[in-house]
Amino acid sequence: MKKIGYVIPVFPTLSETFVGVEMRAMASLGHSVQPYAFSSGQHFQSADRELKQQCRYISTSPAYPLRGVLKTYRCHSFIKQQQGFSYLSLLRQGLQLAYWAKQDNCQHLHAHFAWHSTATAIVAAKLLNIPVSFVGHGADIYASPQDIESKLKAADFICAVTQEMQNELQSATERPVLHIPCGIEAKKYPPLPTQWHPQKDFLFIGRLVEKKGLDTLFKAFSHLPLGTELDIVGDGPLRNTLEQQVHQLALQNTIHFLGGKDAAWYQQHAQNYKALVAPFTIAPNGDKDTGPLVVKEAMALGLPVITSTLAGCNEILDHHCGRQVPMDDPEALFHTMASHLKRSVSSLEKQRQSAFQRVTTTFAATTIAKQLSKQVEAL
């Protein structure tokens, strides 16, 4: 089976578990995978340690590899269409990536995020005359797209993490657009234990950014009974602002900021909480979560989900698997959270089992990877 070079902006990094999950799934199907990245994150999932050791960083190739220069005519037109990068800079990094991909005998390049990683992968693929594809995630499509039209034309196929995105991208290109949602490693999630006795109330996990809807969550939470607690797991640019908001609402004794945690923490502690609360919204710049992996992981861990009617969540949940409220509606969120606190553990058992069954079948990474593998092999 074809060897696939994965081109990623930052790898590994704590908040992008889906990249490592997909690579391991493709490897389990028989593909050799080789990660390439522009930089490494400071914190990462322990499951990505082996891939990190294998990863090549593009800056470590020769600064100006001469191999491939004579084939620049293959990518000249594409580079000229890119407004976000200088011609020489993009050509140089494309040559550097092509240098490593040639050394590693890659037969296909697959980029995550439709930004610089995709542009560089397309240049390198054209230099090497091999197929190339990319994955659109969220901000790269909705908030700050870069020269997306030319990338849609240049790639051999495109992957979209939601059906909504698939429809939107397919209307803009004749190239095939696949629906490849972010999956979970189902083998890591054993059947749910019959005994479940959560001791804590609510959990939020995610980057502390606008699209997570934390301002709505705090407003809703402020009306819950005294003593109700919420743990915030994650970090991000809004942390100081959010901590100030908590103090203004006099909630500092019941809302706790725990900082970033890895997947192992989630798996170890999820059973302690009564629900994951994830009131996703659409940020003012258009950025939004697409197929939130944190929701899928909660379903696999038996943690009830309360989230919003974001399109990406609509595709993950059905009415048997969790509760959804309108986006940006703190009153509706309050009523749903208050109602959840009154539900007995036994009344939630059917919901937990339905969610587990749905996510481990519909969103198993190896099942999803088969569609991607089939398209790679067909080129």
319-342 pLDDT, tens per residue? 899 999 999 999 999 999 999 999
pLDDT at 125: 98
* 214, 199: one domain: yes
* 242, 357: one domain: yes
* 167, 250: one domain: no
* 159, 222: one domain: no
Phi, psi dihedrals of residue 36, rounded to the nearest 5°: -125, 140
* 130, 275: one domain: no
pLDDT at 44: 86
167-205 pLDDT, tens per residue? 999 999 999 999 999 999 999 999 998 889 999 999 999
User: Nearest Cα to 259, choosing from 329, 207, 306, 305?
Assistant: 207
> Which segments of the chain does DSSP mark as H helices, in order?
17-28, 49-54, 76-80, 87-103, 116-128, 139-142, 148-154, 163-170, 214-221, 239-248, 263-269, 293-301, 311-316, 330-342, 345-362, 365-378
- 336/329 Cα distance (integer angstroms): 11
Say how many domains are in the chain. 2
Residue type, 157: F
Spatial neighbors of 83 by CB under 8 A, at least 6 apart, are 146, 147
* 246, 125: one domain: no
* 157, 286: one domain: no
Q: What is the mean pLDDT of the chain?
A: 95
Poorest-confidence range of 40-49, 81-90, 281-290? 40-49
Length of the chain: 379
* 79, 167: one domain: yes
- pLDDT greater than 80 at residue 68: no
Question: Percent of the chain beyond pLDDT 70?
Answer: 100
- pLDDT greater than 90 at residue 96: yes
* 35, 156: one domain: yes
State pTM to two decimals.
0.92
- pLDDT greater than 90 at residue 354: yes
229-252 pLDDT, tens per residue? 999 999 999 999 999 999 999 999
- 308/316 Cα distance (integer angstroms): 12
* 53, 130: one domain: yes
Poorest-confidence range of 19-28, 153-162, 260-269? 260-269
Q: State the CATH number of the domain containing residue 140.
A: 3.40.50.2000
Report CA dihedral (179, 35, 102, 59) to the nearest 10 degrees. 120
Q: Are 110 and 4 in contact (CB under 8 A)?
A: yes
* 293, 146: one domain: no
pLDDT at 193: 85
Query: If you write DSSP's letter for every residue of 208-251 in order, what string do you get?
Result: SSGGG-HHHHHHHHTTSPTT--EEEE---TTHHHHHHHHHHTT-
Structure tokens at 331: 């009153």
pLDDT at 262: 87
* 274, 286: one domain: yes
pLDDT at 245: 95
Q: How far is CA 166 from CA 162, 299, 331, 364, 370, in A?
A: 6, 24, 33, 19, 18
Question: Percent of the chain beyond pLDDT 90?
Answer: 90
Q: What is the mean pLDDT of residues 261-272?
A: 92
With bands split at pLDDT 50, 70 and 90, how would you rate the model's confidence at 65?
confident
Q: Which domain holds residue 356?
A: 188-362
pLDDT at 41: 85
